[in-house]
Amino acid sequence: MAEAIPGKPGLEHIRALALDVDGVLTDGGLWWGPGGEDWKRFSFADIMGVSLARRAGLVLALISGEDSPLVDRYAEKLHIRHVIKGCRDKAAALRDFASAAGLDLTAICYMGDDINDLPAMRIAGHSAAPANAASAVLAQAGFIAKRPGGNGAVRELVEAILTAQNLNPEQVLLQP
């Protein structure tokens, strides 16, 4: 697990997880179907990670620069209430999420992969990135997953949060 950034809380204090979508929950690729529709690939490892986070009581948010109905579908399937799409100012979106969830920014971990995520990463209590994030994002991240975006990076982060909070993923999974 990554070391805590001086002046920022460690993962044991995290109560919410805000995620970028493309490049974090997906591999950043975009497929176009024969009818012109967008297709995205999501990892079941990350789906399990999001489910574990929810069952552990973490409040979840998706903050995406894209305005894709696939983000809504993902959020609906995984019971994520806080969804901000078509977002150009991710720091403002993170502040809005914190306010709506009744949380201080210090209690939120934000995971992003590209330079448009940096403003949100700077104000979050903890920041994280997949292994294949842009170099400026890796330099900002307090936690860097060993796995790339769309391939288990979110799961890895969630397991690190659970471990820091002395929660066993298997026991968390069995909770209603």
What pLDDT score does 9 carry?
Answer: 60
Pairwise pLDDT comparison (3 vs 132), residue with the higher score: 132
Q: What angle do CA 35, 24, 100 make, to 5 degrees?
A: 100
What pLDDT score does 173 carry?
Answer: 78
Using DSSP bridges, classify how beta strands 38-39 and 31-32 pair: parallel, antiparallel or unpaired. antiparallel
What pLDDT score does 8 carry?
Answer: 54
pTM for the model stands at: 0.91
Which residue type sits at 16? A
Report phi then psi at 9, rounded to 5: -70, 155
Q: Look up the CATH number of domain 13-55+78-100+122-173.
A: 3.40.50.1000
66-120 pLDDT per residue, tens: 898 889 999 999 999 999 999 999 999 999 999 999 999 999 999 999 999 999 9
Confidence check: pLDDT of 128 > 90: yes
Confidence check: pLDDT of 1 > 70: no
DSSP 42-104: --HHHHHHHHHHHHTT-EEEEE-SS--HHHHHHHHHTT--EEE-S-S-HHHHHHHHHHHHT--
What pLDDT score does 2 carry?
Answer: 43
What pLDDT score does 4 carry?
Answer: 45
Token pair for 95: 């502040």
What pLDDT score does 33 carry?
Answer: 76
Confidence check: pLDDT of 176 > 60: yes
Alpha carbon separation from 71 to 20, 41, 90, 163, 164 (Å, rounded): 10, 11, 16, 28, 29
Handedness of CA 154, 96, 108, 51 (dihedral sign): negative
150-159 pLDDT per residue, tens: 999 999 999 9
15-52 pLDDT per residue, tens: 999 999 999 999 988 777 788 778 878 899 999 999 99
